[in-house]
Amino acid sequence: MDTGTIPVDSLSGGLDLYRTLESGQSYCWRRSDGEMYHGAEPEDSWYATVVDGDVIRIRQENGILEWESTTDAEAAVRRLVRLDDDLEAIVAAAPDDPLLRDAYDAHRGMRLVEDPPFGCLISFICSAQMRVSRIHTMVSTLAREYGEPIEFDGKTYHAFPTPDQLAAATEAELRELGLGYRAPYVVRTAEMVASGDADPAAARGFEYEAARDYLTQFVGVGDKVADCVLLFSLGFDEAVPLDTWIKSAIEEYYPDCDRGSYADTSRAIRERLGGEYAGYAQTYIFHHLRTGE
DNA sequence: GCCCAGGAAATAT
DNA sequence: ATATTTCATGGG
């Protein structure tokens, strides 16, 4: 077993691992006590994921971020929860308005995640009209039923299924697993990726709005889900997913940014939230409003 | 029972 | 192009 520690005070802007991993950005981690997305912070349990066949688990305790893995995972940990972001500078450069200031103050240390593209894509296809706790359950079920099992420290972990593994599933099976009308979306999108017809990671090479358009070719992916994948997986920090919470925030706090269409409203709110890191601002506002904290 | 949840696709105007 | 309707399902 490889292990390591990272002192939190070495990170600009600190770290709140609980809010980073349980704010509805990522559904690719599972908590060892099984209580993820149930509203309470972990005591001494771990968050675990599988990346490229390797189990990685992490926890934050007493000012230390600990990791344990089947391999030397420090670089992967830094990438997955974006420890090298200069969070202090991002917060300092954010627009100074009451809502955003409250959101940043309430959740200091929350970072964006960088999920693997395929898992992120399927996660947010599943997210349509679902609560975050159920999205997490659906993604965990897909991993358990179709993903590669990997033994580590006497326990079995499951990778998120590959496009091939998920494309081999049937719509009827996924409906049995509770995915509802999202079942055919997941199968058809997995088939598109497995066949090589399209690849979510390919959107990295495009300018922002072209990248969003590229992702909407996948079945079950509209502008909002595309923005989530761009923000939580592909490094487009300016992406602002216009979900129900941010729409209500626009209505109440930024009414002049409502321009009717998604594309035009997106440009306006992106500008209002600071442009380059507007997606960071969006994630804080989303979590702030959704949790009421 | 009713309502809602990090929406998207199909259909109608 | 934009507006309305339909689509599953567990939990409050």
- CATH 1.10.340.30 corresponds to the domain A116-232: yes
**Which nucleotides on chain B have any atom < 7 A from a protein Cβ?**
5-9
What span, in angstroms and rounded, lies between the C-alpha atoms of A116 and A146? 17
Residue nearest to nucleotide B9 (CA to C1'): A220
> Beta strand pairing status for A2-7 and A64-69?
antiparallel
Rg, chain A, Cα only: 18
Structure tokens at A23: 């704010």
Closest protein CA to C1' of nucleotide B6, residue: A243
Place of tokens 């055919």: A184
Topology of the domain covering A1-84: TATA-Binding Protein (3.30.310)
Distance between CA atoms of residues A237 and A111, nearest Å: 12
**Protein-proximal positions, strand C, CB < 7 A:** 1-3, 7-11
Question: How confident is the model over A192-226, as pLDDT tens digits?
Answer: 999 999 999 999 999 999 999 999 999 999 999 99
Tokens of A287: 């979590």
> From the Cβ of A259, is strand C under 7 Å away?
no
Q: Which residue is nearest to nucleotide B7 (CA to C1')?
A: A128
User: CB of A108 within 8 A of CB of A13?
Assistant: yes
- With a CB cutoff of 8 Å and minimum separation 6, the contacts of A136 are A27, A36, A37
pLDDT tens sequence across A12-62: 999 999 999 999 999 999 999 999 999 899 999 999 999 999 999 999 999
**CATH 1.10.340.30 region(s) of chain A?**
116-232
DSSP secondary structure string, A14-33?
A: ---HHHHHSSSS--S-EETT
Residue range(s) occupied by CATH 3.30.310.40 in chain A: 1-84
Please check whether strand B approaches the CB of A37 to within 7 Å.
Answer: no
Q: What share of chain A is helix, strand, coil (3-state, %, to 5)?
A: 50, 10, 40
For A233-259, how does the pLDDT look when each residue is reduced to its tens digit (9 = 90+)?
999 999 999 999 999 999 999 999 999
Position A133 scores a pLDDT of 98
